Structure 1
Amino acid sequence: MSAFLKEKLASMPQHLQSLQSIQVGPYFRNIHLPQLPQNIQLPTTDLQGKARKLHSRNPKAVIVFLALVLLFFWKNIIYDVCTHFTRQYKPIEVVDKNPIKNETLGFQEIFVLSLPDRGDRRKPLLAAANATDLNITVLDAIRDRQIPVADYPEWWGTNNWVPKEGELGCLMSHLRTWRKMIHEDITSALILESDVDWDMRIKDSMVGLGEGVKAIADWPFEVPSHPRDFSKEVSPYGDRWDLVWLGHCGSNADGNGRIYAFNYASAPDEEHTWSFGGGPSPGHRPPGTRIVYQFQKSVCTTGYAISNQGARKLEKHFRQANSPIDLKMWDHCVNDPELACLGVWPQIISMAESRTNIKHTEGGLSFGHEITEERIVAGKGIQISARVNANTGTAGDPSKWKSEFKNRDKKGEKKEDEKKKEEKKEDEKKKEEKKDKDKDSQE
């Protein structure tokens, strides 16, 4: 301690006792501070006095200030108070991140082949896509007369086969699409005709198809390491398929015998399945399901998914095509061991009755009667038609969706069918009797 401080402390009065007992730390317990004079006035803070002074100010100013704050911020204040509790109990939104449920059904593109002058087909098609939140790209198809002879497939029209009008244009439209995929390196595409239809719940159906494709495409397994790590593969359907025929007029499941069945409400029952080209053998399909399989035949290119490697393989084959596109695809899928082709039954994509550009012997589009005008009707075997519900404006409200499968009285229906059969037999019997009479009279 300096001599100056010692001198000052010694000169201070000794009768101030209140500071002598202050201990400032464990190392200074024996140090006693000198006493201060009693007449020293220490400064104090008169909080109560200041509070009284504040309170004595004009209370109206405070009220006006608070009113202005409330006036400018009342919306925010009420919103914060009202939403404080609701935020705590707001349900968490569940987002389905399955890529198959995206706007292109898990493929890179959805292409629709349509003649440019067929707006009557494009309009219901685009409405159906919008109703089911699908993003489609319409590509202009071509007619036979637009194709130079030099661009014909090498074997076209040979082998005692005479093409029908429109078959060459159809084939070349698909072939051009495959070449587009190759040129632009498109990993996969769903290719549709312009007169197609599908169920409003197509995205859920496609999820089951994806599981089936992954289960079937690599059978038999090259190495016993299944299940493989699909997370490393580009497509949500796996990367070992070339063609998945999910829209057709008939398909046979007598392939390698491996079948994957998945259940979903959109699958039609036996009464409502449709085909003019045959179907799986009895027992292949469990009731109420769709099945995925390696097909032995499929007809009609209504809708099919194709991978980039599949497009490259088929494009090479089709340089020497000598038959309609569906028969040529069927032939190569069955006979080329390098092609992994799968089918689906019943169809997920189906065709609706429509005027056709290919002349069939049955008239119309092989439904047994000629169609002279375009109509918006459901596709064959489709329960809740996207075309129909988009046209009627009920697509946005599932409770108002129109179902094509009516619940009918089976007993009454059976009796009615039997009655019609009996009437038909009577008519045929009368016709035969009339023929016999006419024959006898001529003799």
Structure 2
Amino acid sequence: MTPLLRRLLIVVPISVLLGFLFATLGFRNGLDETVFGHPYDTGGGYNALGKIKPLRLDTSVRANDGDLRRKEEVVPDGLKVKDLAVALENRTMGFGKLFVVNLPQNGDRRDTMVLASSLSQMNVDWVSGLPDDQPIGETLLRRQDQERGGGQLKQNWRAHINAVRTTVELGLFSAIILEDDLDWDIRLREQMHAIALSTRTLTQPLAVTNSTKPIYADPSFPDPLLSNKVTEIPFVGRPATIQPSKSAYGDEWDVLWLGYCEMQMPTQRTRNLSRGRVVLTPDPFVAVKDTINYDSDSYPNQTRLFHHTYEPMCSFAYAVSQRGARRILYEAVERNATEGFDVMLRDMCDAAPDSPAKLTCITTQPSLFSRWRDGRSEHIRRSVRLNMGRGVGGDQREWFDQYPEESA
């Protein structure tokens, strides 16, 4: 045996072993089981055991952000996503686009949203509704029996339909759509990470599933008639699911309802909806005062639930998949809708499983986005709006908390 061959026999196996170890570590740092991290986070991400990373107060832009020009997505929409952390580090939080609906007369709201999204390292695309002086006939609510709706209703309808239509037009797998007067936590990406993992748990087949008969953690999904059981799945120790191929949030959802003014939860009596729940407790991003009570179910303070939507009101913030956007656009065009966009969306989410308009809609309680009113917002602890002065001034030693734990 030549000396060269002997060296190859030694070096190659060692290289293979090291490559395997690094690959394993890389996957462990990218899949569901590991700590969430990205260049723009403020700390506090969840790991597989439900533990929380220490809050990092430095939210300054990293040097590799260059001259702050709009960056392309880190992970292109539609790519097979194996690394959830990388997918959510982009400036649209793992979605194809981040739209904000805005009426031309509300320039002050746009100013504030530009600043808030900038501090949260998010790229925003603006979608306009109708100005006050534009004829009502230009909206999709155009039939005679629909003229009873007020101008504001039609303006809101047109703005949301424009955003949904653009999602279809651009062929995006997903988009997140916000209204222009919202507030959110400065640690929003960490919360979206938990949404992604929980949506997978509720809608993706289990990893043990064979290709002919998918098995789900929730026995009432996708057909709620198969089981009337309310299945509670702990966020800590949730079962492994098949990796999604289209989105970091999973492949089988239509709407993620992230901001609302009212939300119910499916129970044993809710025949048309799947009843699985992912339970995360305690969640330090939830205000101590927030308690979730439904019927006989009561959860400890600082509990966050992920579940299918039921009777939601107000579409402050939501994400749509391409499949969901197409169904919504079709329904808007074909249906004699006489009420608001959020009512149509609610009806599609609550529809019977065999309805052609049925959407698979997932939410979280408490809400992740809240309307900003009179200098405050509900449920949001470290409000991006209340902390804008600290962010702009570089004073990041201590973020203001609207609902500090010691006040409980």
TM class by smaller structure: 0.5 to 0.7
- Structure-to-structure mapping, 1:130-141, within 5 angstroms: 130-141=118-129
User: In the alignment, does 2:388 pair up with 1:390?
Assistant: yes
Task: Give a deviation string over 1:118-166, Cα, whole Å, max 9, x none.
Answer: 22212221221122211111222224642452643366745xx942340
1:258·1:293 contact (CA, 8 Å) conserved in 2?
Answer: yes
Read off the aligned partner of 2:114 and give its amino acid letter.
L
The AA in structure 2 aligned to 1:328 is: M
1:394–1:400 Cα contact (<8 Å) kept: no
Q: Which consecutive residues of structure 2, in runs of 5 or more, have no partner in the other structure?
A: 1-35, 39-84, 217-239, 267-272
1:395–1:401 Cα contact (<8 Å) kept: no
The answer to whether structure 1 residue 259 and structure 2 residue 277 are counterparts is: yes
| SS state at 1:211 partner | helix
Partner of residue 363, structure 2: 343
Q: Is the 8 A contact 1:110 1:135 kept in 2?
A: yes
Deviation, 1:170, is 0.3
Query: Which amino acid in structure 2 is aligned with residue 223 of structure 1?
Result: K
Q: Which residue of 2 aligns with 1:248?
A: 260
* 2:213 is equivalent to residue 223 of structure 1: yes
Aligned pairs, how many?
Answer: 287
Contact 1:122/1:194, CA 8 A, preserved across alignment: yes
Structure 1 residue 172, shift from structure 2 partner: 1.2
Pairing of 1:328-339 with structure 2 (within 5 A): 328-337=344-353, 338-339=358-359
For residues 282 and 125 of structure 1, what CA distance do their matches in structure 2 show? 40
Instruction: Please name the residue that 2:324 is paired with.
Output: 310
What SS does the corresponding residue of 2:297 show, helix, strand or coil? Answer: coil
RMSD: 2.9
Structure-1 residue corresponding to 2:107: 119
Taking the aligned partners of 1:285 and 1:318, their CA distance within structure 2 comes to 38
Question: How far has the Cα of 1:352 moved from its partner?
Answer: 0.7
CA–CA distance in structure 2, aligned partners of residues 156 and 112 of structure 1: 30
Q: What is the identity, as a one-letter code, of the residue corresponding to 2:274?
A: N
Cα displacement string for residues 345-381 of structure 1 (whole angstroms, at most 9, x for unaligned residues): 100111111xxxxxxxxxxxxxxxxxxxxx6x23221
Partner residue of 1:381? 379
- Helix, strand or coil at the partner of 2:350: helix
1:237 aligns with 2:249: yes
Cα distance in structure 2, aligned partners of 1:98 and 1:280: 36
Read off the aligned partner of 2:191 and give its amino acid letter. Answer: S
Aligned ranges 1:27-176 → 2 under 5 Å: 96=38, 97-143=85-131, 145-149=133-137, 151-153=139-141, 157-158=145-146, 162-176=148-162
Is the Cα–Cα contact under 8 Å of residues 104 and 131 in structure 2 kept in the other structure? no
Q: TM-score, normalised by structure 2?
A: 0.63
TM-score computed with the length of structure 1 as normaliser: 0.59
Select the residue among 391, 396, 403 that pairs with 1:405. 403
> Gaps (5+ residues) in structure 1?
1-93, 354-374, 411-443
Q: How far apart are residue 182 of structure 1 and its match?
A: 1.1
Whether the aligned pair in 1 keeps the contact of 2:101 and 2:178 (CA below 8 Å) is yes
Instruction: Report the Cα distance in structure 1 between the residues aligned to 2:157 and 2:298, rounded to whole angstroms.
Output: 31
* Aligned-residue offset at 1:325: 1.2
What does residue 342 of structure 2 align with?
A: 326
How far off its partner does 1:179 sit?
1.1
In the aligned structure 2, how far is the partner of 1:286 from the partner of 1:205? 19
AA aligned opposite 2:213: V
In structure 2, the residue matched to 1:438 is none
Matched, 1:300 2:314: yes
CA distance in 2, matches of 1:156, 1:291: 42
| Structure 1 residue 223, shift from structure 2 partner | 2.6
Amino acid at match of 2:99: F
The offset of 1:344, in angstroms, is 1.4
- One-letter identity of the residue aligned with 2:91: E
Q: Which residue of 1 aligns with 2:31?
A: none
Identical pairs, percent = 24
Residues 382 and 401, structure 2, Cα contact 8 Å, conserved in 1: yes
SS at match of 2:386: helix
1:391 is displaced (CA, Å) by: 3.2
The one-letter code sitting in structure 1 at the alignment partner of 2:372 is: A
Distance 1:102 1:119, change over 3 A: same
Deviation at 1:287, TM superposition (A): 3.4
User: Deviation per CA, 1:216-245, whole angstroms, max 9, x where unpaired?
Assistant: 1358999344554315x1200011000010
- Contact kept? 2:293, 2:299, Cα under 8 Å: no
1:173-202: per-residue Cα shift (whole Å, max 9, x none)?
111111111111121111000000100111
Structure number with the higher helix fraction is 1
Distance 1:352 1:104, change over 3 A: same
CA distance in 1, matches of 2:393, 2:162: 34
Cα distance change on mapping 1:280 and 1:205 into 2, 3 Å:
farther
Seen in structure 2, the aligned counterparts of structure 1 residues 402 and 186 have a Cα distance that, compared at 3 Å, is same
Instruction: Give the 3 Å change call, closer, same or farther, for CA 261–204 of structure 1 in structure 2.
Output: same
Displacement after TM superposition at 1:101 (Å): 3.1
1:291 is matched with: 305
Q: Report what 1:58 is aligned to.
A: none
SS at match of 1:386: coil
Q: Provide closer, same or farther for how the CA distance between residues 409 and 136 of structure 1 changes in structure 2, counting only shifts above 3 A.
A: closer
